Every structure is written in C-alpha cells, then in structure tokens.
C-alpha cells in the first residue's frame, strides 16, 4: 500500500524543556486504521499535532505524501490531513454551524457554490443536515463533536486524525460516533484511552508511553495482551470486538 506518512527519529521538547517525544519512527499507509494508545502524558496529542504541522521539531522528521511538512506546503498538508481536537470547542468558533464548516473551504478558495455544496455534503455525512443556522455552542457535546468532524470533512481530507473522539460521551453517543467514523472512507489515526473504540475501528495499534513507542502490532495482538496493556496503564474491557469482525460492536 502507498505510504502517506513517514516519521523518522522524531524528538520533541516543549519550550520549558519538558521532553514529550523521543526517537519516534512510524509509517502510515493509505487505508490504515491506526490507534495510538497510552497513559496520560504519554505524548499522544503531541504526536498528532506534528502530523499537520501545528507542532514542528527542528529538522525534516515528518513527511506527508513524500514531502516534508514546511511553511510552503502547510495549507495543502492541512487540507489532506484533517485534525479533530479532543474538545470541539477548540475547533468551533463561528456564529453558526454553517460558518464553522465553511471556514476551511473558504480559506482554500472555493467558490460560493462550492462552499455551500461542501458544507451540505459534510453535514450530511455526520447526520447534521438542517443545523446550518444553529449556533454550534448551543448544541450538545455529541452534536458539537459531529460538527467538528464536519469542519474537516468539508475539505475532503485523505486522512482523519482524531484526538480522544469519544471522551465525555455517554454510551449511546459514543457508539453513534463510532458508527459514523466507521462509515467514512478515509485513512484514520485515532489517539484514545477508549479501547472499545479502538477495537471497533482500528486494525493496528501503537502503544506510546513516556514519549516512546512501546509496541506497534495488530489490534488483535495488542488488545489481547493484558499484561502488556497493564504495564502501560491501560485496561482491557471485559467485552471487546475487533474491527475485522462483521458483527455489531458490544453496546453494554
């Protein structure tokens, strides 16, 4: 399969000197459904922020579609790799849902008709058609998460990167979001503590701990290795289904 992201020897420290990532090597191929799991403070969000240039380390350690992420290609990188933040309020800042979802296409130079078409299509994909004139900030958390995803879909990304997409959702909202994400035909990279979500959506799992990759294997092997999960502060759910199974995920 085509390699679309390559990370080589990525090390990153924050301005206060705190080391967040050390020697990260990772390749992502088109069609991958990759989970990045690990305890709090493992470096998961920091790694995600490197994938579309929000954070950058010195040197050319991150390549996207065979090109290093630079100022020159940053707009195109962010169109092709859409990042959905953990908190939708970090992504939604306009007066209406339409304005939030239209922001990306407008910045890409779409015509008015193209913008309207892109917004309508993105909202339909997340089940939020008809919400165009509502205020994002007056919606439920689950609805805001869907709108945040729509802000990325409106730019037709090839990769979706999601940071803890089911955090703070009730079980019904969580499984509705999982079903939504499963239906989207894009490469997925998901950072999450939610191993039910990981099992339902991902075929490959990376364990990140202390800013280093501790494991990179199939979801089946990682999620069934209880001692390894516990060694990295993770707990395997009692009931879990793999992404390769055709049955409906456990909804208990």
* 31 has a pLDDT exceeding 90: yes
Q: Indicate whether this model's pTM tops 0.75.
A: yes
Separation in Å, CA 55 to CA 10, 44, 45: 12, 13, 10
Of 44, 66, 65, which Cα lies nearest the Cα of 55? 44
- 112-144: per-residue pLDDT in tens? 999 999 999 999 999 999 999 999 989 999 999
Domain spanning 3-231: which superfamily?
A: P-loop containing nucleotide triphosphate hydrolases (3.40.50.300)
Tokens of 7: 């990370």
- 167-184: per-residue pLDDT in tens? 999 999 999 999 999 999
Cα pseudo-dihedral 167, 176, 155, 78, rounded to 10: 30
Residue 63, phi then psi, degrees to nearest 5: -120, 135
Instruction: Report domain extents, the chain.
Output: 3-231
């Amino acid at each position: 399969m085509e390699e679309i992201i390559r990370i080589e020897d990525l090390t990153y420290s924050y301005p206060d000197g705190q080391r967040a990532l050390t020697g990260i090597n990772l390749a992502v191929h088109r069609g991958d459904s990759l989970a990045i799991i690990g305890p709090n403070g493992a470096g998961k969000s920091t790694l995600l922020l490197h994938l579309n240039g929000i954070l950058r380390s010195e040197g050319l350690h991150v390549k996207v579609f065979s090109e290093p992420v630079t100022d020159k290609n940053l707009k195109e990188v962010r169109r092709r790799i859409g990042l959905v933040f953990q908190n939708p309020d970090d992504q939604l800042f306009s007066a209406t849902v339409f304005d939030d979802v239209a922001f990306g296409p407008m910045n890409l130079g779409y015509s008015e008709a193209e913008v309207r078409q892109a917004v309508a299509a993105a909202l339909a994909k997340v089940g939020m058609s008809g919400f165009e004139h509502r205020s994002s900030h007056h919606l439920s958390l689950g609805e805001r998460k869907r709108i945040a995803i729509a802000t990325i879909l409106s730019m037709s990304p090839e990769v979706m990167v999601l940071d803890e997409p089911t955090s703070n959702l009730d079980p019904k909202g969580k499984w509705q979001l999982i079903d939504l994400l499963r239906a989207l035909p894009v490469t997925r990279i998901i950072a999450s503590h939610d191993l039910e979500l990981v099992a339902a959506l991902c075929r490959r799992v990376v364990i990140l701990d202390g800013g280093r990759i501790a494991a990179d294997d199939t979801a089946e092997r990682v999620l069934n290795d209880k001692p390894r999960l516990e060694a990295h502060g993770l707990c395997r759910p009692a009931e879990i289904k793999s992404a390769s199974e055709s049955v409906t995920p456990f909804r208990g």
